[in-house]
Chain A
């Protein structure tokens, strides 16, 4: 069984400063990991995913995440926040052979001008 913990339900950053969103997972087998973003009144959009290839994954909108097996983490980062990054971010995990995505509780990002 897999699960995801997102540390910090709310992150506030100033425009132009780095963003760090934390995600830790538990899985009995090598997992597939995803970060999705949800803008207000919209569906979920895939930012990036880890599928056992490179441990540093680059995604859209300047985001990247690093898979660290020893720490069971998949933290999302962006070097310089933009106002348009204000949204809800979800980390999710799945296991091969299982259609279920287990989502974290989500982290709300606000960006201050």
Chain B
């Protein structure tokens, strides 16, 4: 089973709202990722967690706050977003081992609209 699940599938929020995106995998993967994807563009890496610790932050604005409560879960907390943050947010995971060697498996994404 190579399934990564994400909830919700769609989210509409105002610029003053606080919301969270959730990602879950039960493949024993110990690296988890958040990507942002705009229409007709490739995914852009936001964060990487390795063994539940934040290892990469691609200079993402603080209105995005990641959290990895355990080895199966990854959250992305959203606060005071801007309309330009509207995008498809993808979660991915990969096996333990040296980064780069392992395949990243992607979830279906959460489509976010900020009004």
Contact = CB atoms under 8 A, between A and B. Distances in A.
Interface of A: 32, 34, 36, 41-46, 49, 51, 88, 90, 94-101, 103-106, 108
Contact of B111 (A32, A36, A41): A41
Interface stretch (B14-22, B65-73, B77-85, B93-101): B93-101
B31 to A, nearest CB: 6
B100 A95 contact: yes
Interface string B85-106: 0000010101000111101111
A98 B6 CA distance: 25
B92 to A, nearest CB: 8
B100 A43 contact: no
Given A32-B101, A96-B99, A106-B41, 5 more contacts: A36-B106, A42-B109, A99-B48, A100-B48, A100-B56
A46 B99 contact: no
Contacts of A106: 40-42
Interface of B: 4, 6, 31, 33, 40-43, 45, 48, 50, 55-56, 90, 92, 94, 98-101, 103-109, 111
Contacts of B4: 43
Nearest to B42: A103
Nearest to A51: B101
A105 B109 CA distance: 19
Nearest to B105: A46
A96 B50 contact: no
9 contacts: A32-B100, A41-B111, A43-B6, A43-B90, A96-B100, A99-B99, A100-B56, A105-B42, A106-B40
Given A32-B100, A32-B101, A94-B100, A43 B42 contact: no
B40 A96 contact: no
Contacts of B40: 88, 106, 108
A34 B106 contact: no
A99 B103 contact: no
Given A43-B108, A46-B105, A98 B100 contact: yes
